[in-house]
Each structure stands twice: as C-alpha cells, then as structure tokens.
C-alpha cells in the first residue's frame, strides 16, 4: 500500500482539527493569532518522546491527549484559559495510518473538551523514536500573571489534586514487582493517572485572582517546589504527611514505604503548586471548590535562601535522595 504524502496526511488527519480561523485550514505557511483588547497571550511548550514521557505501545489516543494536557497544565498554572496550539510530529519508520487515525481522534476529543483548536505545525520523519512537540497558547484577562518568583514569607503553599499517582502509575504500567500486591483496580487507577493527566483548568481563575506564585508540578513536587522557592528568594517549612495522596497511592506506600519518596519526587503529576497570601486563603479555597478542584495546604513560605524543610509527623526533618526527575 502506497504511503500518504505529507500533504495528504495533513489534509486527512489534522486539517479537520484546525477550527481556529487563523489556521486557514492548514493551507498556508503560517497561522495568525489576534489577542483581544485587555488580554495577554501566555505561551508554553512541551515535547514528549517515546519511552521517556510515554511508552511506545501506549494507546495513540491517550498519547495525543497527554501531549495536549501537559501543556494545558502549564496554562492553568499561569491562570490562563486555553486558546490554540501548534503540533510538531516526528514519525519513526513503520508508522501506520490506523495509528495516526487514533492519534488524531485523541486530539479531537480534548480539543473539544478544552476548547483548544489546532493552529498549525509540522510533520517530519525521524530515524529516532516518536517525538511530539506542542506549543500552547492561552489567554489571561490581566497582566497579573502568577509566576514562580512571587512567593512571600507567610504565604500558604497549596497543591491541587493528589500527588504521586503519575510516578507510581508508570511503575504500574510497566508491571513493577513492587506493586504486585495492589488490587487490580488500584493498579489500573494509577496507570490511568499516568496515561491521562487531569489539567486543572477550572482552578485557573482562582490561581489568577489569588496566587502570588504558581507553577505546574511535572518533575516531582519536592524538586519543583525548590524551583519556585529559589525563584522567589525564599524557603519553606512543609509537612510531608499533609501532601495529598490518593487511596491507591497510599495502598502502594503501605506495601513498600520507599514508594513514598517516589511519589513525592518522581514527577508526572501535572498538578498545580501555588503560594497564596493568608488574606486570600478563604477566597482561594472557595474558588477551588467552585471549580470542583481539591486543593490542600502543605506548608508555609519562610524567609531565607536555605533549602526548604520537610518534616514528618513527629517533627523530624525528612531527607530526599533526589528532588525530582531530570533529563540530564
């Protein structure tokens, strides 16, 4: 069977997703974006590589949705609402049309759910692994964009959702022996959380209105928190046992206590970490509840440039062998 040409591939699989008027149906060399008066454009990008960020034999529908969602998580952390995205897809030898069909279907599902239209991109072949790069564009209605460097002593540190499911889910997806004692429903839950993150878009208005600093948790809570504090020139006191874990993650940690460190440092959470002034605590929690997003306080920002202190339930400082996942 003859391979599709690049033009045929784009026309068949991706042009139907290009509903943004600036995309011009993917028939031009470039797209155009206009920003409404009084709003600002937020831009982020994430690249996903097979067997680094997902497994090559994962469902292509879920691979596509994860590629969008890790970027949507960054937009949410800046208080932005999704607007449009570009996609660069490097296909390895042996790609199949049915794989691309499932991939495009995944993009369509999340494009509809999050009002997130394809704007353009590129398709190339590669001798290496499948590689996906998404540039995401979001809009915020003010210039009060919460960055990493705004945390102040006394601010309360919050995380959304639950932490560690993604890192433990990768172990579950790989069939790690350490999770063999988990009930099947718990393994499936963790694996699903790894395969399909939940970007906290509905928390974005609360972050925009009330957070002094915010970032997406992608490389591990411990390490990402350290990044936020370094940018802010601050430190923190944190309660390890206040970090929210799902029931499945708690069950895994009961089987193997060392998995708690994996949960806190392993990454693939795609939750939001933010600092909120005490005067805005009630309003922030109300905004989170209105958006249906669980938020949990885990500590307080302190002055100084020393490493944050993580304490266990007895007040003892907790060391970590590493802070987060690192590519290098």
| Tens of pLDDT, residues 232-267 | 999 999 999 999 999 999 999 999 999 999 999 999
User: Residues of CATH 3.90.650.10 domain(s) within the chain?
Assistant: 148-311
Q: Is 29 annotated as a binding residue?
A: yes
pTM of the prediction? 0.93
Q: Is 240 annotated as a binding residue?
A: no
Give the chain's mean pLDDT: 93
Q: Is 127 annotated as a binding residue?
A: no
Q: Is 121 annotated as a binding residue?
A: yes
Q: Is 188 annotated as a binding residue?
A: no
User: Residues of CATH 3.30.1330.10 domain(s) within the chain?
Assistant: 6-140
Q: Which residues contact 92 (CB under 8 A, 6 or more apart)?
A: 50, 125, 126, 127, 128, 129, 130
Q: Is 45 annotated as a binding residue?
A: yes
Q: Is 284 annotated as a binding residue?
A: no
Identify the H or E element spanning 188: helix 184-195
Give CA–CA dist 110/257, Å, rounded: 36
pLDDT digit string, tens, across residues 172-187: 999 888 898 999 999 9
Specify the pLDDT at position 18.
Answer: 87
Burial of residue 214, with CB atoms counted within 10 A of its CB: 0-12 exposed, 13-18 middle, 19 or more buried: buried
Give CA–CA dist 242/299, Å, rounded: 8
Q: Is 177 annotated as a binding residue?
A: no
Residue with tokens 């906290």: 200
CATH fold of the domain at 148-311: Phosphoribosyl-aminoimidazole Synthetase; Chain A, domain 2 (3.90.650)
Give CA–CA dist 168/253, Å, rounded: 10
Residue with tokens 């206590």: 257
pLDDT digit string, tens, across residues 74-98: 999 999 999 999 999 999 998 899 9
Q: Is 235 annotated as a binding residue?
A: no
Residue of 168, 165, 219, 167 lying closest to 193 (CA atoms): 165
Taking domain 6-140, whether its CATH number is 3.30.1330.10 is answered by yes
Burial of residue 111, with CB atoms counted within 10 A of its CB: 0-12 exposed, 13-18 middle, 19 or more buried: buried
Q: Is 320 annotated as a binding residue?
A: no
For residue 37, pLDDT over 70 is answered with yes
The mean pLDDT of 129-150, rounded to a whole number, is 92
Q: Is 328 annotated as a binding residue?
A: no
């Amino acid at each position: 069977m003859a391979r599709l040409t690049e033009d045929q591939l784009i026309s068949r699989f991706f042009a139907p997703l290009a509903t943004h008027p600036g995309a011009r149906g993917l028939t031009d060399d470039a797209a155009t974006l206009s920003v409404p008066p009084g709003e600002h454009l937020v831009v982020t990008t994430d690249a996903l590589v097979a067997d680094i960020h997902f497994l090559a034999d994962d469902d292509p529908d879920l691979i596509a949705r994860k590629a969008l969602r890790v970027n949507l998580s960054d937009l949410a952390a800046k208080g932005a609402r999704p607007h449009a995205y570009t996609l660069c897809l490097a296909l390895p030898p042996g790609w199949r049309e049915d794989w691309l069909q499932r991939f495009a279907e995944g993009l369509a599902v999340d494009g509809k759910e999050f009002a997130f239209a394809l704007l353009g991109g590129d398709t190339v072949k590669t001798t290496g692994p499948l590689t996906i790069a998404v540039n995401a564009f979001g809009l915020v209605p003010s210039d009060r964009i919460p960055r990493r460097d705004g945390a102040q002593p006394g601010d309360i540190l919050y995380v959304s959702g639950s932490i560690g499911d993604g890192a433990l889910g990768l172990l579950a997806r790989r069939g790690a022996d350490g999770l063999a004692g988990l009930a099947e429903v718990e393994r499936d839950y963790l694996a699903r959380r790894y395969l399909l993150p939940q970007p906290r878009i509905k928390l974005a208005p609360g972050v925009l209105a009330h957070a002094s600093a915010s970032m997406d948790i992608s490389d591990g809570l411990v390490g990402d928190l350290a990044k936020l504090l370094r940018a802010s020139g601050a430190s923190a006191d944190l309660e390890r046992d206040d970090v929210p874990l799902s029931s499945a993650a708690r069950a895994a940690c009961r089987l193997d206590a060392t998995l708690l460190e994996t949960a806190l440092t392993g990454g693939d959470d795609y939750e939001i970490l933010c600092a909120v002034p005490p005067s805005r605590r009630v309003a922030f929690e109300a905004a989170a509840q209105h958006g249906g997003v669980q938020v949990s306080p885990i500590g307080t920002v302190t002055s100084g440039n020393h490493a944050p202190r993580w304490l266990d339930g007895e007040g003892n400082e907790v060391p970590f062998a590493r802070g987060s996942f690192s590519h290098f």
